[in-house]
A = this chain, B = another copy of it.
Amino acid sequence: MTETQDTTTASPAGSPSRRALIGWGGAGLALGAVAAGGAVAATRAGDDADPAAAEAGGAVAFHGAHQAGIATPVQDRLHFAAFDVKTDDRAEFVRMLKDWTAAARRMTAGHAVGEGAYGGLAEAPPDDTGEALGLAPSRLTLTIGFGPSLFERFGLAGKRPAALVDLPRFAGDNLDRTRTGGDLCIQACADDPQVAVHAIRNLARIGFGKVAIRWSQLGFGKTSSTTPDAQTPRNLMGFKDGTRNIAGTETDRLKKFVWVGDGDGGKGESWMTGGSYLVARRIRMNIETWDRTSLQEQEDVFGRDKGEGAPVGRAKEHDKPFLKAMKPDAHVRLAHPDSNNGITILRRGYSFTDGTDGLGRLDAGLFFLAYQRDVRKGFIPLQRQLSAKDALNEYIQHVGSAVFAVPPGVRDKDDWWGRTLFSEEA
């Protein structure tokens, strides 16, 4: 299996949209099916991810050795949902995972969930909720993860990876239970928010009675780039942060820092080979305080200048930082791999603004998403250092937290999310 799942090809001009492909009303069904096959094939462009081809509107291949949505060039919008499991019936849960996989396969290709969504019997609820009809695939990716608590169910205790640790309490954590944890998660990324919201909603609908959404988060304004040479987007503090992210094309660094390797885990953990571990943190910014802080203080806190994003004493964003020129508690200095024995994580965070709190302050910040090969060697030591020392802590609060084991990719049309975990042969 080549790593084609991160390769994106924009729809050729005039290619069918969701609208044309769905085949509602009966007559369009046969044509829809043929066109669908063609569209899926068209998304498989080759072995080399070409970020230049990653234009909005195209489809990202669903099948591959790894799940899409990790090394995939970061899309513009996010809808992330954590679910609690509501059933004790393993067979029923596995059936849902298979139904989810089939739906995800169709939605990421730009189709409605069910082939007969609008050609079916009108007495039944439609197979698809419909609000994404007519919209382009929008580079939708759907990525599933399994939380620690899932392994207390379904006889899975022996398969919980050692690397899937419960996160420790970090200094300054102010976690809201209603935004923390979850038995499983779906990360939906797309260039159109309606496409991402549609996907989560339809998976929740399919899962009705088996799972329920525990919490969810919308994100916009991606705060990191997995595309080489791209400008790093700004976070809501106005700074470029995390400019040295792992690019989706850096297969060596992905292999070293992101993908779980063959012999990584102990007994019962081989099901994670090709997967990764995801840490999600809802980081609220004290926006109003930050906005009344002097430019000098802001730049000292980050260790960069605000305009260009250059490290202290350097001219350009991508110039190599001279860490000793920064204050000892500067964010860039403390987060840099050179200050952390080389720790490197792949970040896919998004900004969020969820209205205002009861005190008229913006409920806004960074929804931090990081993928790594082993949380014990990635986020945990990094956050121990940052939570203890980072000057930024005066302006932020971690208010939500979760960790998930993200299984390997779905290989082909007969494969399904979680097969390597739930199938006895695996």
Interface of chain A residues 45 through 68 with chain B (CB within 8 A): none
Tell me whether A126 is interfacial, beta carbon within 8 Å: yes
Q: Contact at A125–B193, with CB atoms within 8 Å?
A: no
Tell me whether A216 is interfacial, beta carbon within 8 Å: yes
Residue in B closest to A22 when the chains form the complex, CB atoms: B307
Question: Per a CB cutoff under 8 Å, which of B216, B299, B364 touches A355?
Answer: B216
Q: Contact at B215–A291, with CB atoms within 8 Å?
A: no
B residues near A356, Cβ cutoff 8 Å? 213-216
Q: Contact at B291–A79, with CB atoms within 8 Å?
A: no
Residue in B closest to A220 when the chains form the complex, CB atoms: B193
In the complex, identify which listed stretch (A8-16, A129-137, A335-343) lies at the interface while the others stay far away: A129-137
CA distance in complex: A193, B361 (Å):
19
Residue in B closest to A24 when the chains form the complex, CB atoms: B307
Q: Contact at B205–A288, with CB atoms within 8 Å?
A: yes
B residues near A122, Cβ cutoff 8 Å? 294-296, 299
Q: Contact at B360–A197, with CB atoms within 8 Å?
A: no
Q: Contact at A125–B288, with CB atoms within 8 Å?
A: no
CA distance in complex: A125, B306 (Å):
12
Number of copies of chain A assembled together: 2
Give A185 Cβ to nearest chain B Cβ, in Å. 13
CA distance in complex: A404, B222 (Å):
34
Question: Per a CB cutoff under 8 Å, which of B77, B133, B355 touches A215?
Answer: B355
Per-residue contact bits, chain A 171-212, to B (CB 8 Å; 1 contact, 0 not): 000000010000000000000111001000100110010001
Residue in B closest to A130 when the chains form the complex, CB atoms: B238
Question: Per a CB cutoff under 8 Å, which of B125, B132, B360 touches A293?
Answer: B125
Tell me whether A292 is interfacial, beta carbon within 8 Å: yes
Per-residue contact bits, chain A 101-131, to B (CB 8 Å; 1 contact, 0 not): 0000000000000000010101111101111
Residue in B closest to A363 when the chains form the complex, CB atoms: B216
Tell me whether A396 is interfacial, beta carbon within 8 Å: no
Question: Per a CB cutoff under 8 Å, which of B133, B216, B221, B299 touches A194?
Answer: B221
Q: Contact at A351–B125, with CB atoms within 8 Å?
A: no
CA distance in complex: A274, B296 (Å):
45
Question: Per a CB cutoff under 8 Å, which of B125, B216, B235, B237 touches A291?
Answer: B125
Q: Contact at B238–A294, with CB atoms within 8 Å?
A: no
B residues near A218, Cβ cutoff 8 Å? 218, 353-355
Q: Contact at B216–A295, with CB atoms within 8 Å?
A: no
Per-residue contact bits, chain A 283-312, to B (CB 8 Å; 1 contact, 0 not): 000011011111110110000011110000
Q: Contact at A123–B25, with CB atoms within 8 Å?
A: no
Give A122 Cβ to nearest chain B Cβ, in Å. 4
Tell me whether A231 is interfacial, beta carbon within 8 Å: yes
Counting chain B CB atoms within 10 Å of each CB, the highest count among A124, A305, A307 belongs to A307
Given contacts A193-B220, A205-B291, 16 further A-B contacts (CB under 8 A): A79-B353, A122-B299, A125-B294, A125-B295, A126-B298, A129-B237, A130-B238, A131-B234, A197-B220, A197-B221, A201-B291, A201-B364, A213-B360, A215-B355, A218-B354, A218-B355
Footprint of B on A, CB under 8 Å?
22, 24-25, 77, 79, 84, 118, 120, 122-126, 128-134, 178, 192-194, 197, 201, 204-205, 208, 212-218, 220-221, 231, 234-239, 287-288, 290-296, 298-299, 305-308, 351, 353-356, 358, 360-362, 364
